[in-house]
Every structure is written in C-alpha cells, then in structure tokens.
C-alpha cells in the first residue's frame, strides 16, 4: 500500500511517469524502507531512506532532474504525517477505554485479595449427571 501511495506521489510530481513505474516504485519504497529500518544511527532511518530512494531512482527510472530528491523528501513528510494521524486516533480512542481497564484491574485485585483472605465465593463446578450432554456450550439433561 505504501509503495502504491509512493507511485501516486510520483505521478503528482511527474505526470509523464511510465506505467511500468508502479512496480518499480513499490520495490524502491520497500527497499528504501528496509535500508532506513536497518540504519541504527538515525531515528527512523532519517537520511538513509531518502538517499536510498534517490539512488535507486537513478538506477531504475530516467526521471527529470531533481524529481527523485523532491519525491524522497515528500514521501518522508507524507509518511510522518500519516503516522501522526494514526497515533492520534489511537490515543484518542484508547483514552476512553482506560477508565474501564483501570476499573477491571481494581476489581480483579480486590477479588484476589478476597480469595487470599478466604472470603471468595465458592467457584466449584455444578454437579452434572453421567447422562448429561453438552449442546452449544450448554449442559442438557
């Protein structure tokens, strides 16, 4: 998906890009992302991924001067913006669940404390006759 978006970004910058550029863009983006991931020197491969994009474009597609450098920088900006949007959505949606998780955790803690003090409820299984059968998770006589 990210490689396809990378191709659409290329089309926005260079409308005369050949259709064969789609699989090339997908491959270039994947390889550049891997190079950026493996570089431990910079955060998120900053600079390494862009350099890989420019270098791989120079080897694979005869593009106008400067398009690959602009594409590399814009792809970094677009991917960073997408990550920020996703993290923001996760933060906002996860904030509503936090009070429920804290309440469930406190309930479990109090239940555990009750069981260690011997005040817990009897959780033994009900007696089942030998001719009983289970249908759909329900015990039937």
Residue 6 lies in a domain: yes
Average pLDDT over residues 63-74: 89
Average pLDDT over residues 72-94: 91
Residue 128 lies in a domain: no
CA distance 87 to 81: 10
CA distance 135 to 140: 7
Statement: the pTM of the whole predicted model exceeds 0.85? no
Domain limits at 12? 2-89
Average pLDDT over residues 116-126: 58
CA distance 29 to 32: 5
Torsional sign, CA 3, 4, 5, 6:
positive
Residue 65 lies in a domain: yes
The answer, yes or no, to whether residue 100 has pLDDT greater than 70, is: no
Split at pLDDT 50, 70, 90, the class of 61 is confident
Number of compact structural domains in the chain: 1
The answer, yes or no, to whether residue 118 has pLDDT greater than 90, is: no
Residue 100 lies in a domain: no
- Mean pLDDT in the chain? 82
């Amino acid at each position: 998906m990210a490689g396809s978006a990378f191709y659409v970004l290329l089309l926005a910058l260079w409308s005369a890009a050949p259709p064969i550029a789609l699989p090339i863009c997908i491959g270039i983006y994947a390889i550049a992302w891997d190079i950026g991931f493996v570089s431990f020197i910079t955060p998120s491969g900053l600079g390494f991924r862009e350099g890989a994009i420019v270098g791989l474009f120079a080897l694979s597609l005869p593009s106008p001067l400067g398009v690959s450098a602009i594409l590399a920088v814009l792809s970094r900006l677009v991917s960073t913006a997408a990550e920020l949007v996703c993290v923001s959505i996760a933060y906002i949606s996860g904030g509503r669940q936090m009070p429920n998780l804290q309440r469930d955790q406190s309930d479990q803690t109090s239940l555990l404390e009750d069981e260690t003090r011997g005040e817990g409820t009897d959780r033994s299984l009900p007696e089942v006759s030998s001719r009983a059968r289970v249908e759909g998770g329900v015990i039937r006589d």
